[in-house]
Amino acid sequence: MKPVIALVGRPNVGKSTLFNRLTKSRDAIVADFAGLTRDRHYGQGRQGKHEYIVIDTGGFEPDASKGIFKEMAKQTRQAVAEADVVVFVVDARDGLSAQDHDIGNYLRRLGKPCVLVANKAEGMKAGAQLAEFYELGLGEVYPVSAAHGQGVRGLVDLALGSLNLPEEIEEETIADVEARPVRLALAGRPNAGKSTLINAWLGEERLVAFDMPGTTRDAISVPFERHGQKFELIDTAGLRRKGRVFEAIEKFSVVKTLQAIENANVVLMLIDATEGVTDQDAHIAGYILESGRAVVVAVNKWDAVDDYQRQLVERSIETRLGFLRFAAIHFISATKRQGLGPLWASIVQAHKAATCKMPTPVLTRVLMEAVQYQTPKKVGAYRPKPRYAHQGGMNPPVIVIHGNSVEHITEAYKRFLEGRFRKEFDLVGTPLRIEFKTSHNPYAD
């Protein structure tokens, strides 16, 4: 699971600027105005082989007892509770304040890993100017400049280093994948029937299933075995549109759901047939595809709609979820236990495709046959010439194609090659990523 880093500090110390720098985005609004951020904001970052989640928080006043400051403090406490490591941001220009003391006392009592960061330290030397921050009793003071990017890489190394993460992420082998249970996450909008479906599989009321959106709030893991194969069923909270998420607990649920999707082997995406395919369903499907997870689409409550609604749902799947053409689609009823057998067959097939082994000779043969059938289009002065292919990873499968000028291969030809590889290895239910590497000419210089 990705480590979570929470940025905490009083207003206008540069937490949102640091958040944008860590996530390499502009997701957080930044202005020279105290108290601009009020809610928690989540983003994803990566440094080297390590990925992490960053939480931006509003100005923290631990003792706030009323008004908007009380609500902001509640949001910050929730972010700290979710975090694996806390980055306490202070203002190197303004110096130490009473509010910094209050926040420092609060963080010390928690006992969580904490990194003390003095922001806006461009042009300042670590020493006498930062000495006063040692009063907080949180160890070394690390100077950075979020606006200029100074010291940010070292800050991430320091924060992740306190968690004792492995230096290298080893690639999964077939034996490793088979030894562990298949992680199957159920994702979809609220009230789509995720908990009801798991209860139907288990044959007992293991999870609370109620006709009210938002019943499930955390990602619940349930062990399950079918036909000798072990599974780990993960029931997730329903994902609503961002503008409709108000409660702090629901925002925590969103993070847990996204983490569950990223850590799953297969994602079963549930669609409510009574409401059809919505824009939010398309957003969820896009996130699953971006995460590279194998996916199976199930349209639940199929027994509750008439023939006309069924035709509308089928048509909307073709138009709004056209980018998931590789995924199997099933029409089921969790309450009446209809269509669950074929659904399991697709889940097993999707996992098999996501973890399949593709020999280099077979990949190269398929590539050469494709090139003989249709050569890549010439782009300007460049004529791409693919030479050979090998597997670069699994779950999702990655195929690396080497050759001359292959970076100029068009998207249309890439889709043509993808179709060839999918047909050869029966890659149903999993995304396929194709990478191109151009050979270096040793005599170019």
Instruction: Using pLDDT thresholds of 50, 70 and 90, give the confidence band for residue 248.
Output: very low
How many degrees, rounded to 5, is the angle at CA 218 between CA 217 and CA 223?
Answer: 130
pLDDT grade, residue 127 (50/70/90)? Answer: low
What does each C-alpha distance from 360 to 62, 164, 325, 357 come to in angstroms? 59, 36, 26, 10
Tell me the torsion sign for CA atoms 397, 402, 405, 409: negative
* Of 163 and 426, more confident: 426
Q: What percent of the chain has pLDDT over 90?
A: 24
Burial class (CB within 10 angstroms; exposed 0-12, middle 13-18, buried 19+) of 79: buried
Is pTM beyond 0.85? Reply is no
Region 287-304: mean pLDDT is 90
321 within 8 A of 297, measured Cβ to Cβ? yes
Q: How confident is the model at residue 159 (pLDDT cuts 50, 70, 90)?
A: confident
Q: Compute CA distances 238 → 190, 241, 272, 435, whole Å.
A: 4, 10, 12, 34
Could you tell me the domains of the chain? 4-161 (3.40.50.300), 174-353 (3.40.50.300), 360-438 (3.30.300.20)
Closest CA to 386 of 442, 438, 440: 438
For residues 219 and 253, give the distance between their C-alpha atoms in angstroms, rounded to a whole number.
7
- CA-closest candidate to residue 152, choices 187, 118, 195, 114: 118
DSSP assignment of 249-316: HHHHHHHHHHHHHHH-SEEEEEEETTT---HHHHHHHHHHHHHT-EEEEEEE-GGGS-HHHHHHHHHH
Please report, as a single letter, which amino acid is at residue 356: C
Report the candidate in 314, 332, 288, 317 with the shortest Cα–Cα distance to residue 430: 288
- 157 pLDDT more than 80: yes
34-43, 64-73, 361-370, 371-380, range with greatest mean pLDDT:
361-370
pLDDT over threshold 90, residue 66: no
Token couple for 275: 């409401």
Running DSSP on this structure, what letter comes out for residue 235?
Answer: E
Which region among 25-29, 123-127, 211-215, 318-322 has the lowest average model confidence (pLDDT)?
A: 211-215
> Rounded CA gap, 209 and 191, in Å?
9
Query: Is the pLDDT score of 174 beyond 60?
Result: no
Supply φ then ψ for residue 297, to 5 degrees: -100, 130
Three-class SS state of 148: coil
Task: Round the average pLDDT of the chain to a whole number and report it.
Answer: 81
- 214's CB contacts (< 8 A; 6+ apart) are 190, 237, 238, 250
298: pLDDT strictly greater than 90:
yes
- Distance, in Å, from the CA atom of 352 to the CA atom of 187, rounded to the nearest integer, reads 20
Q: Do the Cβ atoms of 434 and 424 come closer than 8 Å? A: no
Give residue 236's pLDDT: 78
pLDDT band at 65 (very low <50, low <70, confident <90, very high): low
CA distance 117 to 122: 13
